Every structure is written in structure tokens, then in C-alpha cells.
Amino acid sequence: MDRSKMETAVRSFLEGIGQRFDGDDLVATPARVARAWCEDLLAGYDLDPSAELTWMPVEPGSDPVMVRRLRFASVCVHHLLPFFGFAHVAYAPDRRIAGLSKIGRVVDAHARRLQTQERLTAAIVDTLHGGLEAGGTIALLEAEHTCMTVRGVRKDQGRMVTLSSAGLYREDPAARNEILGLLLGRALDSESSGQD
């Protein structure tokens, strides 16, 4: 990324909305904004999501692995505004399992780029499914998009939900429904409350 171009663009943007650089408040803003975008908001461009995924061998036929409520933040490619929420991810191991933190790293490596939520969901599944050579992989993302909550229609309670799957969870409706129930917490919630 070219920070000097980003700084120039931010300065032009601020001038375009009528701001002046004759006080201390805005003098360092272009550099701060460029640093924030390079080092945090778009840091995923410097990462290879597949390289973030390390694994260990496991016996074939292992039970599903799932991680719920992985917090993520991304930037909408259409308005350059943030969207954020939770990723719920599961896979059916064939011969490989990932370290728990590695799943979160894959989510972040894809999220810290200009994205649509649909593309982000599919990218997470593609990386995990291919890297782990899993029998099945599924991801469900639920996010608040500030391009809808703070501008436009301003629906502050609206959340977008996207789903992507591969292998077993795409091909077998029963397996898909079972894992979705677990990912969404229905089975776990009913067990903890003593309901059937």
C-alpha cells in the first residue's frame, strides 16, 4: 500500500469538505488515517489466509469442530464504511484439524480487506475447506453494516446474515441442518434449559 498517496487523498478529502489545516487538530490526521487503514483496517492484504491455517493430523471420521461467535470487523467495498459482527464456523475433519486460534486468524485475514459480506463468507469456507481437506465446511456470518445503520435507510437494528458451505454441508441437507442447529446454539440452548 502507498501511504503517501493515502495521506494525500485524505488531505484532499478533508479540504473537500471545507476543513483547514491551520490548527493542531487536523495536521496529523492524514498520516493517522493512512496508518490506521494500512496497519489495521486493510491489514489482511499483507496476509495469506492459507498460511494462517496450520493443522495437525487426526483420525478419519472425527466429529465436527465448530467455533461460534468469532468477532470480526471489515470494510464495505461499496461505501468504505465498516461492518462488523460474528462468524460461526464449523468443519467435518477428514484427516486434519486446525488449531482453534487459526480459525479466527483465517476469518481476520479475509475480513481485513475491502469486502462484501457474501464474498467474505465464501472466502472463509474456501480457505478452511481446501486447507484442511475437510469432509464439509460451513460458515454463517451475522453483521451490522454501518452503510445501512448510520446512512441511507438508517435501520439500526438490521443485521445481514450470510451462509456458505462446501462438501458434506452443501450436499447433505440433514447434516447441514444438524450443524446449523449447533452453530446457531439451538441444541445447546435447549440442553442448558432442560427443554427437548
Structural contact between residues 90 and 140, judged by C-beta atoms closer than 8 angstroms: no
Q: pTM of this prediction?
A: 0.90
| pLDDT tens per residue, range 118-170 | 999 999 999 999 999 999 999 999 999 998 888 878 777 789 999 999 999 99
* Same-domain check for residues 20 and 97: no
* Same-domain check for residues 81 and 20: no
Structural contact between residues 72 and 104, judged by C-beta atoms closer than 8 angstroms: no
* Same-domain check for residues 89 and 157: yes
Range of the domain at 25: 3-41
* Same-domain check for residues 96 and 172: yes
State the total domains in the chain. Answer: 2
* Same-domain check for residues 52 and 36: no
* Same-domain check for residues 26 and 120: no
| pLDDT tens per residue, range 21-80 | 877 788 999 999 999 999 999 999 999 999 999 999 998 878 999 999 999 999 999 999
Q: Which three cell numbers stand for residue 45?
A: 492484504
* Same-domain check for residues 65 and 126: yes
Distance, in Å, from the CA atom of 61 to the CA atom of 194, rounded to the nearest integer, reads 30
**CATH code assigned at 180:** 3.30.1130.10
Distance, in Å, from the CA atom of 143 to the CA atom of 105, rounded to the nearest integer, reads 18
